[in-house]
Amino acid sequence: MNSAQSNPSTKRRDKLYIIAEILEIAREGTLKTQIMYRANLSFTQLNEYLDFMLRINLLEKVLNNDRETFKATDKGLDFLQRYREITELIKSENNDCKNGVKVPPPHLLKRN
């Protein structure tokens, strides 16, 4: 077993997890660079996710003091809530992975 397999914090994140993380970061509106750093994405990955999320209306671009920010839409917040509910349903009692599904960190499972 290599170190990435033995350390859960280094496991790959799936696309839905990353989308939920971006939505949480952009809940109130934030700069592109903040999303990139807080979600730990490369510039290329960030642009791919933002393009996709803008296209399907999970995020919106907002001009704030001449700066372009990204904010979760109502549809995005609905996605985030449903994502949390699904992860709660599949979460095991001791927070380990169950059926190979990685449960997001507690800050993404906060309730409103």
Give residue-wise pLDDT tens across range 16-34: 999 999 999 999 999 999 9
List, in order, residues 6 or more apart from 41 with CB less than 8 Å away: 18, 35, 49
Fold entry, domain 3-108:
Arc Repressor Mutant, subunit A (1.10.10)
Name the residue with higher pLDDT: 13 or 19.
19
**First-residue to last-residue Cα distance in the chain:** 39
> pLDDT tens, 40-81?
999 999 999 999 999 999 999 999 889 999 999 999 999 999
Residue with tokens 């549809």: 75
**Which tokens is 21 given?**
């993380």
pTM for the model stands at 0.73
Q: What are the pLDDT digits (tens) for 92-102?
A: 544 555 555 66
